[in-house]
Structure 1
């Protein structure tokens, strides 16, 4: 898979016009062709082995990451602002190649971290600790200042959240089950099902938030301009180009000193006005990295809505299910037909700020319609996985997840809430379907 932002670097110091931005973005957002590669980005909370609720000092984190940077990893190693660890696989020619690469790299990473008495936790939002920034860089200083304008959700997203992000080729130029237009639409409808089926972040500050995926709540709280999707009722390339131009600029970078953090300045307005200085191709490159929609087109499709999963190998299940539902033609057609009725609940509003996604994040598979669609999609994925070369072990893990969670209308967040309340106490359920999301700036624990 190609990284779309690299194509914006041909003239790194040349000013870019509004028309050039639109043409550039339209040209790089969907690299079409038969789906051939798959990738995954897995994020983890890093914790003390003697107690996952204990904070790790910045000095110990830095020492552990310094050791990890010398380890023989095929995946790219990055550190998130709060010290979360991320491994990003190289593009793989098959699902099993991707799983093999990342599994080996995670084994290496865990061994290095154990040498520093540290471990990894797969949870979508840190249930114990408040946001605390580990990285002190101009980029994250500016990001924090920008996101603070909408309340505390931005800092929590930066410092306490973790996910499984599945990367798939954009698809064919021609229409059909593997066409890029169909896959773009499917990603936004199926995305709500993936949120519900893999919700794993019901706690913050050691208390239930009322949402099974608090991580999705955080993205909603950040706002549609930064973390929302474009409308799905037109050409995907044109819609994404408009979204990029009309999205707020996070910051204007400077060679020295703090970066400027303008308020209410869109990239379109910046290109037209040329103030505080004319934007360059490098600024467009950077602007694309500051947009966090649930599905990000980077030449390929980056599906960003899945919470980090429990267990050492929990990430494999959402990767396998999602890949099967997109890359196997029969499964893709089944998934498309299964999710079509859900589109009415979205009310033509962009994800994740529509009723369908809100219900998925709040109630998970306790929602009967989401549960029914999830069951159909898991069944289609299980039929497709052998055709994609998946081993019996991988197929068995998907079947076990279906039996433990999907068939029972549950998700990993339910396990965390059961543990919080104790097995002999009924857990509190999220607010009823249809209730309004938490307003911007309001504490998520209310």
Structure 2
């Protein structure tokens, strides 16, 4: 087993201290007022979008983006995807305007290199290579390889729109954190179906509208699952976090990171890894913080709620629609009540299995809005969101963008994956067969 040196702050953590830390940092309650988004994009060649880019061109693209003075934090995903993380905004317009300005600047810089940003949930170009080499990604890939290829695909070839909303008030009610936590999971399948944009034409998810969701569901037996929703959010999430396997133990002396198998964080707290992993150091608060970053449920509490089930969207401004719709369904009391009622009635018919393995979520990923029940729920939710956006001060342009998406897709029982495959898919197939 690789040697693991003590962390710079090696004070061991007790189980009760770990529970208290998770309780305190994962749900920061208060009035819902902040909104944020994380947008992941594929980088493609402007002239030959189906041909995978060389590492040199991807590194040059990333360097160009990082050299710009942006409002957002720009990071690189393992497969070379660019991610824009907005600063928390006090309004929808503030969030959208800042991201649009950053995206315009980066697009202009990339265009000088003959490159474009492409919004889709799964990269059809093959082979999928990992661009980034780091202890974190080396350990993550080794861990995921134990259960099959889904983890590598997730790291190298997927992209999403993640919308972040405040946890909500401590008190019960439509804007209380317990209700918002449940709403995020209940309405999640509707969001998967409406924004499905990762169609698969072959492989294990052939015919699915949202192959990305199928891929996430197959990564790990627990790491990507939602916790039970029949109790207080803090308690449920704390149990889920501590009872999930440790992905890796960081080394601080340049040695490879340890990747214990079958060791939950709770086990690590109670035993220090003994007897199965002799010599493993006891966990610290820093280890717990890191462990929480390796959990990938459809809704992740990070003080705020991070909704992670939405595919990256096509077009320059397609991402605006899920950001606006989620904001409306969570932060307008009337729309939130409608969404909760509609989504709960739908979810109740499919049982209590956790997302994303619940049959409703799998139907959303397979069929999108061709599923009649999901189509009806999406129509109700989008109608409620459209009515709420003027009350929330959304600009006319945002309202028109949401309205156009609703007319083109939702009202017709379609999702972006139902559009004819764009040139990237067709060209990728030709390139792969050469």
Q: Is the 8 A contact 2:41 2:312 kept in 1?
A: yes
- The CA deviation string for residues 324-362 of structure 1, in whole angstroms up to 9 with x for no partner, is 000001100111111121222341111111111111111
Alignment partner of 1:186 out of 183, 186, 201: 183
SS at match of 1:304: strand
2 CA distance for matches of 1:421 and 1:139? 31
Q: Is the 8 A contact 2:52 2:125 kept in 1?
A: no
1 CA distance for matches of 2:221 and 2:319? 27
Q: 1:41 to 1:421 in 2, by over 3 A?
A: closer
2 CA distance for matches of 1:420 and 1:77? 24
Match in the other structure for 2:356 = 352
Deviates more, 1:234-243 or 1:199-208: 199-208
1 CA distance for matches of 2:342 and 2:423? 33
Q: 1:207 to 1:13 in 2, by over 3 A?
A: closer
1 CA distance for matches of 2:423 and 2:230? 43
Deviation of 1:50 (Å): 1.0
2 CA distance for matches of 1:52 and 1:226? 33
2 CA distance for matches of 1:186 and 1:34? 16
Q: Is the 8 A contact 1:208 1:417 kept in 2?
A: no
Q: Is the 8 A contact 1:198 1:412 kept in 2?
A: yes
Alignment partner of 2:272 out of 271, 274, 285: 274
Match in the other structure for 2:414 = 410
Alignment partner of 2:66 out of 65, 69, 90: 69
Deviation of 1:205 (Å): 6.8
Normalised TM-score (structure 2)? 0.92
2 CA distance for matches of 1:421 and 1:154? 22
2 CA distance for matches of 1:353 and 1:223? 11
2 CA distance for matches of 1:205 and 1:213? 13
Match in the other structure for 1:129 = 126
Q: 1:25 to 1:130 in 2, by over 3 A?
A: same
Match in the other structure for 2:19 = 22
Match in the other structure for 1:426 = none
Match in the other structure for 2:91 = 94
Alignment pair present for 1:247 and 2:239: no
Deviation of 1:385 (Å): 0.2
> Equivalences for 1:262-411 in 2 at 5 Å?
262-275=260-273, 276-411=280-415
| Runs of at least 5 residues in structure 2 that lack an aligned partner in the other structure | 1-7, 274-279, 427-434
SS at match of 1:306: strand
- The CA deviation string for residues 91-128 of structure 1, in whole angstroms up to 9 with x for no partner, is 00100000000000001111111122111110000122
Q: Is the 8 A contact 2:50 2:424 kept in 1?
A: no
Alignment partner of 1:173 out of 170, 173, 178: 170
2 CA distance for matches of 1:420 and 1:15? 51
1 CA distance for matches of 2:76 and 2:422? 31
2 CA distance for matches of 1:176 and 1:146? 41
2 CA distance for matches of 1:420 and 1:253? 39
Over 6 Å off, 4+ runs: 204-208, 418-422
Q: 1:58 to 1:230 in 2, by over 3 A?
A: same
2 CA distance for matches of 1:231 and 1:342? 17
2 CA distance for matches of 1:65 and 1:348? 43
Q: How many correspondences in the alignment? A: 412
Alignment partner of 1:195 out of 152, 170, 192: 192
1 CA distance for matches of 2:265 and 2:329? 35
Q: Is the 8 A contact 2:50 2:425 kept in 1?
A: no
Q: Is the 8 A contact 1:192 1:360 kept in 2?
A: yes
1 CA distance for matches of 2:226 and 2:325? 22
Alignment pair present for 1:215 and 2:212: yes
